[in-house]
Amino acid sequence: MAEAERIIGTPDIPEAEGHEGAEPEKAAAGGSPEAVEPDGQDAGAAEDGDGSTVVDRSPATRRRRIILLFCVAVLAYLLDLGSKMLVVAKLEHQEPIEIFGDWLRLDAIRNAGAAFGLGEAFTIIFTIIAATVIVVIARLARKLYSLPWAIALGLLLGGALGNLTDRIFRAPGVFEGAVVDFIAPAHFAVFNLADSAIVCGGILIVLLSFKGLDPDGTVHKD
């Protein structure tokens, strides 16, 4: 019997061949099963038909971005408000404080215009613009999924709220109040931390727009 089996040979088993060939097929298909998400979706960003990169737009992601936006806004607002309260209490009607000689000083002034002392004759108009910016940011937050946009909008919101608070509550009257400015670089207009937050947020938005990144997280590669 053993001699007959040696001569005839062991018959081929298709099931064994299929099992042995399964692992190379998996390797050729792109890696181990652990690299694939349970629902079959790629863990990273995907691309749609027009070449745009699409990110996770789950409700949890939107909530995190909105929380980040308001955290940045609150931080910018509190820093601006605290600095203005300190300046009014300690620096207003006093001699300017030199930080770097004539290059940078702290000099408290009241500004009825826009950022950097521009347009003092249009205080009410600038108040309306600031309020409009806040409303627009609140509307954009409903479709916010981008982290950089959350930071940029948070800076804008915090800065707008900081200066709007001065417009409403400071003299000479409601919606006509003068903004407290105190950062005085040489050969430049005097400004405050709210102005800085607005400018930084605006610059970041311009950069994001040049890169093709939308507030909803879509990246346009064209």
* CA-to-CA separations, 154 to 4, 42, 77, 90, 199, in angstroms, rounded: 84, 31, 10, 29, 12
Q: Is 107 helix (H, G, I), strand (E, B) or coil?
A: strand
Token pair 């806004």 in the structure block, residue: 73
Residue 111, beta-bridge partner list: 179
Burial of 216 (0-12, 13-18, 19+ CB in 10 A): middle
Cα three-residue angle 176-69-87, rounded to 5 degrees: 45
**Structure confidence at residue 8 (pLDDT):** 45
User: Token digits for 4?
Assistant: 């007959």
Q: Which two tokens stand for residue 16?
A: 């064994």
Nearest in space to 193 (alpha carbons), one of 66, 33, 75: 75
In angstroms, how far is CA 73 from the centroid of its own chain? 11
Is residue 50 among the annotated active site residues? Answer: no
In whole angstroms, give the CA distance from residue 177 to residue 113.
Answer: 10
Do 194 and 181 form a contact (C-beta atoms < 8 A)?
no
**Would you state the pLDDT for residue 177?**
87
Please say if 166 is a catalytic residue: no
Distance, in Å, from the CA atom of 6 to the CA atom of 214, rounded to the nearest integer, reads 72
Going from the C-alpha of 129 to that of each of 39, 96, 164, the distances in angstroms are 47, 31, 10
d(CA 210, CA 152): 14
Q: What are phi and psi of 192, to 5 degrees?
A: -135, -175
One digit per residue, the tens of pLDDT, for the chain of length 222 reads: 444 444 445 544 444 444 444 444 444 444 443 333 333 333 334 555 555 555 788 999 999 999 999 999 999 999 999 999 999 999 999 999 999 988 999 999 998 765 555 555 557 777 888 889 999 999 999 899 999 999 999 999 999 999 999 989 998 888 888 899 999 999 988 999 999 999 999 999 999 999 999 999 998 876
The span from the CA of 182 to the CA of 151, in Å, is 25
Pick the catalytic residue from 12, 107, 195, 222. Answer: 195
What pLDDT score does 51 carry? 53
Q: Which two tokens stand for residue 117?
A: 């002392």
